[in-house]
Amino acid sequence: MTLPLAGLLVVSLEQAVAAPLCSCRLADAGARVIKIERPEGDFARGYDDLAHGASAYFVWLNRGKESVVLDLASPRDKALLDAMLAQADIFVQNLKPGAIDRLGFPIERLRRAHPRLIVCSISGYGERGPYAQRKAYDLLIQADCGLVSITGGSDEPARVGVSVVDIAAGLAAYEAILEALIGRSRTGEGAALSVSLFDAIAEWMTVPLIQHEGGRTPQRVGLAHPSISPYGVFRSMDGVDVLISIQSDREWRVLAGQVLGDAALAADPRFATNVERVSRRTETDVRVQAAFGALAAEPLLAKLADAEIAFSRVSDLALFAQHPHLHRITVGSPVGPQSYPAPPHLRAEPYGPVPALGEHTEKVRREFTPAQVGSIE
């Protein structure tokens, strides 16, 4: 089976998480991705050594790519990048705004020289504006956009446990590139795209912002939902934490009657609607906890399943690693095979290996001979 982006060439001047995630998705879809690294390598290679001696972030985000080391202060390596861009379909870069211009590759000139080229620039705050030149990393943006203010327990704000801002930006860039490819198929024209970490997560913050501007700022409630009750964690007699989600007043009546065994509660007008239950959240939670705490986990979970109440155990990573719905892929790497969660759209074909630093430099130098391609000057 031919993958949908087979035959496309992506050149990615990238580091860290957002841009590598974007180009990883392009590689998964069949594109050839040449990852440009500086001589010391993408600094994500050194984030940790927990993937059998390699970085967990790096092995996740860089499968199926070719690693080429370039020193872009060198005229020779600038000429090589020129040659690659002359043949590329997509150029991804996440340098600080203005850095790509200073290196001699301004986006406007690239677009004039290569009208079919799709250029995607990923930055912290965008190309313009008062914060455009700021350094911007995942947790800084989580803090700046207000995400941490609605994350965590009542005592203090918290970081989301994964790099959610970087992931949001990387996927937004991938989406924008796919849209640009569709547009190019119709018009023959490439595009200049700009995706910022701040914009990517700001769009995800739409609901809490609307709620705040409507007069009800969401509060940090830990493992509970600020707008729905009961929607949170309750503990069984044998100490198992179970999270339930009641999405309608009908489900509340089912929970009260069939799981809590309290027909009177099911009919009590003080708890009949979600608005009433949220206003009496503490009392609602006490009623639910009393019933849950009277049962061991196994019969409690069986009751919830029989009543078709949405629930989940609160898993730690050890339980997650053994989850029956966890699909894994195995990819090669310089330190041996790496097994980790599969992308959501799992393909039948094997995924490419994670490259060693500069593994493909000489091969790419031989392939893209600058003398064969005119300069973009």
Assess whether 333 and 192 both reside in one domain.
yes
Beta-strand (E) ranges in the chain?
A: 9-13, 32-37, 65-69, 90-93, 118-123, 191-196, 231-235, 241-245, 310-313, 328-331, 338-341
- Which residues carry out catalysis? 225
- Rounded distance between C-alpha atoms, residue 161 and residue 246, angstroms: 25
Is the pLDDT reported for residue 371 higher than 70? no
Number of Cβ within 10 Å of residue 290's Cβ equals 12
Domain residue limits at 132: 9-206+325-372
Q: How high is the pLDDT of residue 266? A: 87
At position 336, the amino acid (one-letter code) is G
Q: Is residue 175 part of a domain?
A: yes
Within-domain flag for 217: no
Q: Cis (ω within 30 of 0) for the bond into 341?
A: no
Asked, for residue 218, whether it belongs to a domain, the answer is no
Mean pLDDT across 183-193: 96
Q: Are residues 154 and 294 in the same domain?
A: no
User: Does the residue 158 lie in any domain?
Assistant: yes
**Claim to verify: residue 271 and residue 308 sit in the same structural domain:** yes
| CATH number, domain containing residue 152 | 3.40.50.10540
What predicted TM-score, i.e. pTM, was given to this entire model? 0.89
List pLDDT tens digits, range 53-64. 999 999 999 999
> How many CA atoms lie within 13 Å of 338's alpha carbon, on the beta-carbon side?
29
Same-domain status, 187 and 67:
yes
pLDDT band at 70 (very low <50, low <70, confident <90, very high): very high
pLDDT digits (tens, 9 = 90+) for 192-205: 999 999 999 999 99
Judge if 188 and 331 occupy the same domain.
Answer: yes
Q: Which of 113, 66, 16 shows the shortest CA–CA distance to 366? A: 66
In a shared domain, residues 175 and 99: yes
Total domains in the chain come to: 2
Tokens of 238: 């044998």
- The reply to whether 147 and 72 lie within a common domain is yes
- Do residue 309 and residue 331 come from a single domain? no
Instruction: Indicate whether 321 pLDDT > 90.
Output: yes
Q: Is residue 65 part of a domain?
A: yes
Task: Please check whether residues 183 and 298 belong to one and the same domain.
Answer: no
**Using 50, 70 and 90 to split pLDDT, how confident is the model at 374?**
very low
Q: What is the CATH number of the domain that holds 301?
A: 3.30.1540.10
Characterize the bridge pairing of strands 231-235 and 191-196: unpaired
Same domain, residue pair 305 and 348: no
pLDDT in tens, 222-235: 888 888 999 999 99
Question: Is 47 in the same domain as 146?
Answer: yes
Domain presence at residue 318: no
In a domain, 202, yes or no: yes
Q: Is residue 219 part of a domain?
A: no
| Whether residue 62 sits in one domain with residue 193 | yes
Tell me the pLDDT tens digit for each residue of 246-280.
999 999 999 999 999 998 998 899 999 999 999 99
